[in-house]
Structure 1
Amino acid sequence: MAEIIRMPRLSDTMEEGTIISWLKKEGDRVETGDLLAEVETDKATMEMDSPADGVLLHIAVKEGTVPVDSIIAIIGEEGEDWKAVLAKAEKENATAAPAPAASQEAHSEEPQPAAG
């Protein structure tokens, strides 16, 4: 079964991380503890380890800044359908996210005519 890899919280104050580079590429076999990517946090640049054994099936974020817990990659078995795994994870994220609160900036006043 494929495993979703998310941007880890590498420090207590970390809200987002920047993927500087991937040390593995799609299709590479990885083992738990292998270095996957270099991630820059609010404090330092760190190396991110693989949390699972398998094949790096998909890199969702090639480089750039993403919030903590964002999906950044998928590790699974060779030939596994990573697109279905990604779609399921994104659907679960959408249903788990709280509904946005009603905007506090809604205006109930009538617009005033322009002075002429």
Structure 2
Amino acid sequence: MPSRDFKRTDRVSAELRREIGLLVHAAVRDHHLPSVSVSDVEVTRELDWATVWITALQPERSAEAVKGLKLLGPEFRHALSKMMRMRRVPELRFKYDDSVDKGERIESLLREGGPVIKQDDEEQ
């Protein structure tokens, strides 16, 4: 039996990421939410829950964006049921992905060229 390259959850996650990205883009425009984008979607094995990771252009307004998207979650789920060919659309959980913020912080620290701490390997 040939092995599958992708698991079903990976395919569902990719499709949800595309569709939710479109819905979030429209919601940002229509509901005057802070500008956000969908960075990833993780689906549980049973396809009961989908965690939607978002990033914001203004990190200080990320809590406002997550709160607004949580309120729109049931509406998104209903729209997804019309858009996708799935028997049951998973419930959506929105979380802020701070990895971009952490990366930018590390990059700025490296650019500043702060003090470099050396450890002598030859200490005895």
Normalising by structure 2, report the TM-score.
Answer: 0.25
Q: Which has the higher helix share?
A: 2
Higher relative contact order (CA 8 A, sep 6+): 1
Q: Which has the higher strand share?
A: 1
